[in-house]
Amino acid sequence: MPKSRFRIDILGTSLSIAADEDPAYLKSLLNRYQMALENTRKLTSLTDPLNLAVLTGFLLCDDIQKLQARRGDTESDEAERITLDLISRIDAALEKPNAAPF
């Protein structure tokens, strides 16, 4: 996809970026960030745009970290299940040398 220009107007600041992403996707990201800003504003009563942007960015990083940790736990659980299944199958094969459990 060729680079396109995308305009960001938020917290009294306007800038234009060049991006390889679909403009609809970028618009959805901007909407999500605006919702996150509004949520932070309601939770903290901050009004300074810079403070609001910094705290919102920090909270979004926290959300990402927690999601990655949860995903890691899920992957660990799956790896453990597969490992235990393989051990069980190896045990069964050792008990019956002529059997082919695989």
What pLDDT shows up at residue 13? 92
Segments forming the whole domain that contains residue 38: 4-95
Closest by alpha carbon to 61, among 38, 80, 39, 36?
A: 36
Average of per-residue pLDDT across 68-90: 74
What pLDDT shows up at residue 91? 67
Tell whether 100 is covered by a domain: no
Q: What is the mean pLDDT of the chain?
A: 83
Tell whether 8 is covered by a domain: yes
Q: What is the pTM of this model?
A: 0.65
Tell whether 77 is covered by a domain: yes
Position 7, amino acid: R
Domain count across the chain: 1
Condensed to tens digits (0 to 9), the pLDDT of residues 34-68 reads 999 999 999 998 999 999 999 999 999 999 888 88
Residue 97 has pLDDT above 60, yes or no: no
pLDDT level of residue 2 (50, 70, 90 thresholds): confident
What pLDDT shows up at residue 36? 94
Tell whether 101 is covered by a domain: no
